[in-house]
Amino acid sequence: MDIFTRIKNLEIQGAINIAEHSLIYLKGFAKKNGFGHKFDLECDRLIAARPTGVALYNVIRELRRDKSFRKIDELLNKIKNNKEKISNYGEKLIKNNSTVQTHCHSSNVMDIIKKAAENKKFTVIADVTEPMHQGIKTVKELSEIKNIEVILVTDDAAGLALSHPCISMSDILILGADAIRKDGIVNKIGTYLLAVAAKERGIPFYIAASTLKYDRRRRLVIEMRKPSEVHRKIKGVKILNPAFDVTPWKFINGVITEDGTKKPEQVLRELKQV
């Protein structure tokens, strides 16, 4: 199966994984075909496969300024080092005996949780994440880690974890991001609802994402996925299946980046710089 299909069908999922796999693919492509016109077309096809994923767009833009194997390796190293730094900063936010809540599957969040579990015991609540159930990937991966109690809930129950101890009250939410924009954080559908509920309960809401996800593009394209992921056809009903939503900054306490945890004002200032 080609990489475009693997991105589309979520076999390769998560913004930073998509950027990483794409770079590895482009390295192989350039070895066979060089860095000419065909290479440019391949870059365009990759960007179109995940329009919301700005890390993919940003690394390809940087690569196009210096089309070389050296640049590809430099970008791959940057992705790896950023992940490591984010996990070191993020793990400090997780306290011993606390409860962390997340949504979907973010490799940055997973790294933070795994790092924190090296010397702390805590609970992680994850929701299923309808309609494609990436939350299952999250809990399966976490079930292998000692020191963590893992709880899976439905998306509809996720709000209860913020308001009632029958699940285990969340102390903090940490989610990933596909894009960091002036208007807010773009992430898996459902993020916005969780952020609103967290604000209402006064529970800190953090995003873990590298500055490679700064999105200065004017237009935001929200990917509409297949209606069949939601339900089979119902006569007279239009089924919409947006894959991402936008959470405004007022709901976000901070962004855990490779440079440390930044307040929204700082991120907004940096987004203005080119």
Q: Least distance to ligand RUB from the beta carbon of 126, Å?
A: 12
Per rule CB under 6 A, is residue 158 in the interface with ligand RUB? no
Among 3, 14, 51, 247, binds ligand RUB (CB under 6 A): 14
Question: What is the pattern of x (binds ligand RUB, CB under 6 A) and - over residues 161-180?
Answer: ---------------xxx--
Q: Which of 111, 155, 178, 215 is catalytic?
A: 178
**SS3 for 193?**
helix
Known active-site residue 166: no
**SS3 for 79?**
helix
Choice between 167 and 185, CB closer to ligand RUB: 185
Per rule CB under 6 A, is residue 108 in the interface with ligand RUB? yes
Q: Which of 43, 104, 111, 127 is catalytic?
A: 104
The 8-class DSSP code of residue 14 comes to S
How many beta carbons lie within 10 A of that of residue 25, not counting itself?
A: 18
Strands 172-175 and 148-153: unpaired
Per rule CB under 6 A, is residue 258 in the interface with ligand RUB? no
Dist CA 80 CA 85 (whole Å):
9
Q: Which stretch binds ligand RUB (CB under 6 A): 9-17, 90-98, 199-207, 260-268?
A: 9-17
By rule CB under 6 A, what count of residues binds ligand RUB? 18
Q: Least distance to ligand RUB from the beta carbon of 189, Å?
A: 8
Q: Tell me which residue has tokens 């970008």.
A: 75
Q: Least distance to ligand RUB from the beta carbon of 46, Å?
A: 14
Per rule CB under 6 A, is residue 47 in the interface with ligand RUB? no
Known active-site residue 178: yes
- The amino acid that residue 61 corresponds to is R
Tokens representing residue 38 in the block: 């065909």
Strands (E) across the chain are located at 99-102, 122-127, 148-153, 172-175, 179-181, 184-188, 205-208, 244-247, 254-257, 260-262
How many beta carbons lie within 10 A of that of residue 232, not counting itself?
A: 7
Choice between 98 and 107, CB closer to ligand RUB: 107
Instruction: Kindly list the distances between the CA atom of residue 54 and the CA atoms of 23, 74, 80, 106, 197, in Å, as whole numbers in the listed order.
Output: 14, 18, 17, 15, 27
Q: Quick one: the chain helix, strand, coil %, rounded to 5?
A: 45, 15, 35
Nearest to 224 by CA among 45, 13, 52: 52
How many residues comprise the chain? Answer: 274
Q: Which stretch binds ligand RUB (CB under 6 A): 8-16, 27-35, 138-146, 264-272?
A: 8-16
Per rule CB under 6 A, is residue 253 in the interface with ligand RUB? no
Using an 8 Å Cβ cutoff, are 168 and 99 in contact? yes
Q: Least distance to ligand RUB from the beta carbon of 208, Å?
A: 6
Among 82, 87, 187, 247, binds ligand RUB (CB under 6 A): 187
Q: Which stretch binds ligand RUB (CB under 6 A): 63-71, 72-80, 98-106, 139-147?
A: 98-106
Chain residues that interact with ligand RUB, rule: CB under 6 A: 10, 13-17, 104-108, 134, 176-178, 187-188, 243
Q: Which residues participate in catalysis according to the annotation?
A: 104, 178
